[in-house]
Amino acid sequence: MFRRVTATDVARLAGTSQSAVSRVFTPGASVSPETREKVTAAAAQLGYRPNAIARSLITRRSRIVAVAMAYLNNQFYPDVLEALSDRLQAQGYQILLFTADRHAAADPVLEQVMRYQVDAIVLASTSLSSAFARECRQAGVPVVMFNRTTDDPDLLSVTGDNEQGGHAIARFLAAGGHRRPAFIAGLEASSTNRDRELGFTRGLAEAGQAAPLRAVGHYSYEGAVEATRQLLRRDDRPDAIFCANDHMAIACMDVARHEFGLAVPEDLSVIGFDDVGPARWPSYDLTSYSQPLLPMVDATVEILMECMEDPSRPARGVVLKGSLMVRGSARRPMDWGG
Amino acid sequence: MFRRVTATDVARLAGTSQSAVSRVFTPGASVSPETREKVTAAAAQLGYRPNAIARSLITRRSRIVAVAMAYLNNQFYPDVLEALSDRLQAQGYQILLFTADRHAAADPVLEQVMRYQVDAIVLASTSLSSAFARECRQAGVPVVMFNRTTDDPDLLSVTGDNEQGGHAIARFLAAGGHRRPAFIAGLEASSTNRDRELGFTRGLAEAGQAAPLRAVGHYSYEGAVEATRQLLRRDDRPDAIFCANDHMAIACMDVARHEFGLAVPEDLSVIGFDDVGPARWPSYDLTSYSQPLLPMVDATVEILMECMEDPSRPARGVVLKGSLMVRGSARRPMDWGG
């Protein structure tokens, strides 16, 4: 084996100080162009690689951000993960991924997070507990809840305007002359589902309509297949279904068309939430409330950087505005145009 | 702030040695049930959390496996990532994720991998260089190429039987009476595309058919939309299209139906590769060659564990058998049944 090349070796060859070598390999550190060039050339010649873990013991920074995520089969989450990873890499951080077991209490897995001395944590799954987030926060590790909120005023969160989105969908359906709207709920304990349903019910009430029919799809394709069957077997079948995410809306359209022989939107309007890639595939052409994914990711990275800089910054909840993407899966109001 | 609870504190309260505490928190280490119970109780009482990074400097194990991946919008990759993370977590390892920039040479990003002193690397993207993998291998860090092969005999790889899959698809289409089959290629430099195309062309030749019509979709939805348009605008339009992955086959079906008004499979048969979730959605009902995802993930984890145990183990290439999932998107041979 080889002797490991050290920063001292690089500094000697480059004719610089060892601290200059360290600064060149620390993202965001100040260093002159000439020094950077000399150090980079020497490092390349020697095959030098800074050891991030040894450095973390000095700087107390591991340059690792833990991301806890489940439901990677809902395209919203892989898209978030890819964007978040790209943005963090650009800042010199990498994601340590924690996938939660969907069928078990998630906290025991998350206990592992603390063992890696991560610099920050992003909780991007609806099934993880706020209690754990609070515990991390108390240990001085910033936590951002992504796509979920909490009543705990000490926690940071970044979400889309879920209630506003549900409200906009109710108004759109009511204005389009729908009279028996239904709602397929996601995970009932999640803040996303609660807020989307609240806004939807409020919007229908404002339009003088009764509370919607309701079934639960647990945010999964299979769950939504069952929920759609329940709703469409009724004698007072709904004329519109708002699904709490696109992943379920796709299942809903598949069942309506291929099991019940219904035309969408002539016999049944379907609306989703998230605006993921498959919503734009012409087979679905799904009307959906768009979550502002890239602004949400950017806000998350910005908050993480601020909190790592200054852990005493007060907590805040960022809510980013989305918009209704009107496509072909739901009947439009007469005066909607398009 | 609090004083950090140490292994010594836990050992004192539990009445055990410090090394017993360490063994309890090392996955796979031997420890008696009574000792485990005493240590776990004391650790819970004190709020003790082992510091994985400090431990990595002692054991020279970071318990981190780097995974380099791109194309997370192709559902195959999120599914791989979730399964791989679940399996590695069960062994006490976590994934450090590296997303490659699709538009740049990927190696500069991968240089970062080495800084974290990871225990092993999984390269699960077609666009990363074998040269980098070889360099890691020389530095004593095991590398497994996932879903790609290389001519380098020093490298480990796990793939499905891509050539066999292409061959099976050619036989299926020929037996179904198709006379003008076409191929939509993925990334032309990738081993998956090369092997699938080789098998397909060989299978057609064995059935007495000419080489297929051909267009390139680069494994992306947008690329496949363009490639499908090229093929379907021809006077000698193909009667079947094999797309080198499902993600492209979905785009191909969307264009054939919604732009060209063709019925699938009456006017055009479409076959994909991977058997991802959307292939099973009734709107597509896509005939596809199934990649054995879970066996591929299991083999990868097994190889990684073996190599971390004994870095001198010889390299090997594991090829796992898939199977043709016959659904409704391609005309079946008369004697196929079903």
Label each residue of A114-181 as H, E or C.
HHCCCCEEEECCCCCCHHHHHHHHHCCCCEEEECCCCCCCCCEEEEECHHHHHHHHHHHHHHCCCCCE
Which of A46, A63, A115, A258 should be substituted to probe chain B, the one whose Cβ sees the most B Cβ atoms within 10 Å? A115
Q: Contact B52/A116, CB-based, under 8 Å?
A: yes
pLDDT at A40: 86
Q: Contact B257/A1, CB-based, under 8 Å?
A: no
Sheet with A213-216, strands from edge to edge, namely: A213-216, A181-185, A240-243, A269-274, A287-290, A323-325
A325, with CB counted inside 10 A (0-12, 13-18, 19+), is middle
Nearest one of A303, A275, A306 to A289, comparing CA atoms: A275
Which whole number is the average pLDDT over B151-172? 92
* Residues of chain B found within 8 Å of residue A97, distances taken between Cβ atoms: 67, 81, 85, 94-97
Label residue B282 by pLDDT band (50, 70, 90).
very high
Q: Contact A75/B79, CB-based, under 8 Å?
A: no
* Residues of chain B found within 8 Å of residue A98, distances taken between Cβ atoms: 85, 89, 94
- How far apart are the C-alpha atoms of B137 and B142, rounded to whole Å? 6
Q: What is the largest CA-CA distance in chain A?
A: 84
Which whole number is the average pLDDT over B121-144? 76
Q: Contact A281/B250, CB-based, under 8 Å?
A: yes
For A35, list phi and psi in degrees, rounded to 5. -60, -45
Which positions ≥6 away from B30 have C-beta within 8 Å? B23
Residue A95 in tokens: 């994601």
- How far apart are the C-alpha atoms of A128 and B78, rounded to whole Å? 20
Which positions ≥6 away from A91 have C-beta within 8 Å? A27, A28, A301, A305
Region of poorest pLDDT, from A130-139, A242-251, B94-103, B265-274: A130-139
Q: How far is A165 from chain B (nearest CA, A)?
A: 24
SS3 B146: strand
Label residue B59 by pLDDT band (50, 70, 90).
low
pLDDT, chain B, mean = 87
Measured CA angle at A265 (ends A260, A267), to 5 deg: 45
- How far apart are the C-alpha atoms of B278 and B246, rounded to whole Å? 8
Of the candidates A94, A109, A281, the beta carbon closest to that of B98 is on A94
Measured CA angle at A287 (ends B275, A252), to 5 deg: 50
Q: How far is B314 from chain A (nearest CA, A)?
A: 17
Q: How many CB atoms lie within 10 A of CB B308?
A: 17
**Count of A–B CB contacts within 8 Å?**
137
* Residues of chain A found within 8 Å of residue B254, distances taken between Cβ atoms: 281-283
Nearest one of B101, B81, B87, B119 to A85, comparing CA atoms: B101
For B239, list phi and psi in degrees, rounded to 5. -100, 0
SS3 A95: strand
pLDDT at B2: 39
SS3 A210: coil
CA distances from A302 to A86, A90, A276, A280 (A): 14, 12, 24, 29
Q: Contact B89/A79, CB-based, under 8 Å?
A: no
Which positions ≥6 away from B18 have C-beta within 8 Å? B7, B8, B11
According to the 3-state scheme, what is the secondary structure of B46-98? Answer: HCCCCCHHHHHHHHCCCCEEEEEECCCCCCHHHHHHHHHHHHHHHCCCEEEEE
- How far apart are the C-alpha atoms of B263 and B255, rounded to whole Å? 11
Q: Contact A281/B254, CB-based, under 8 Å?
A: yes
Helix pair B130-138, B107-115: axis angle to 10 deg: 20
Q: Taking a C-beta distance cutoff of 8 angstroms, is the pair B335, B178 a contact?
A: no
Q: Taking a C-beta distance cutoff of 8 angstroms, is the pair A138, A81 a contact?
A: no
A295: preceding bond cis by omega (within 30 degrees)? no
Which of A73, A113, A312 should be substituted to probe chain B, the one whose Cβ sees the most B Cβ atoms within 10 Å? A73
Which positions ≥6 away from B296 have C-beta within 8 Å? B80, B146, B147, B158, B159, B160, B320
Which whole number is the average pLDDT over B265-294? 97
Q: Which residues are bridge partners to B272 per DSSP?
A: B288
Q: Which residues are bridge partners to B123 per DSSP?
A: B68, B145
Which of B2, B51, B53, B225 should be substituted to probe chain A, the one whose Cβ sees the most A Cβ atoms within 10 Å? B53
Residue B105 in tokens: 């040479």
Q: How far is B79 from chain A (nearest CA, A)?
A: 7
Domains and CATH numbers, chain B: 7-50 (1.10.260.40), 64-160+292-321 (3.40.50.2300), 162-291+324-336 (3.40.50.2300)
* Residues of chain A found within 8 Å of residue B62, distances taken between Cβ atoms: 53
Residue B90 in tokens: 């069960």
Q: What is the pLDDT along chain A (338 residues), one digit of tens a residue?
A: 235 677 888 889 999 988 888 888 776 678 888 998 898 888 878 777 666 555 555 556 788 999 988 888 899 999 999 999 999 988 889 999 988 765 554 454 556 677 788 899 998 875 556 677 777 777 778 889 999 887 777 788 999 999 999 999 999 999 999 999 999 999 998 899 999 999 999 999 999 999 999 999 999 999 999 999 999 999 999 999 999 999 999 999 999 999 999 999 999 999 999 999 999 999 999 999 999 999 999 999 999 999 888 877 777 889 999 999 999 999 999 877 54
Q: How far is A210 from chain B (nearest CA, A)?
A: 33
pLDDT digits 0-9 by tens, B301-322: 999 999 888 877 777 889 999 9
Which of B87, B116, B284 should be substituted to probe chain A, the one whose Cβ sees the most A Cβ atoms within 10 Å? B116
- DSSP calls for B182-239: EEEE--TTSHHHHHHHHHHHHHHHHTTPPPPEEEE-TTSHHHHHHHHHHHHTSTT--S
- How far apart are the C-alpha atoms of A37 and B116, rounded to whole Å? 23
pLDDT at B126: 56
- How far apart are the C-alpha atoms of A303 and B170, rounded to whole Å? 53
Distance of alpha carbon B314 from the chain centroid: 22
A212: preceding bond cis by omega (within 30 degrees)? no
Q: Contact B117/A52, CB-based, under 8 Å?
A: yes
- How far apart are the C-alpha atoms of B31 and A187, rounded to whole Å? 40
Q: pLDDT > 90: what percent of chain B?
A: 57
Which whole number is the average pLDDT over B250-263? 98
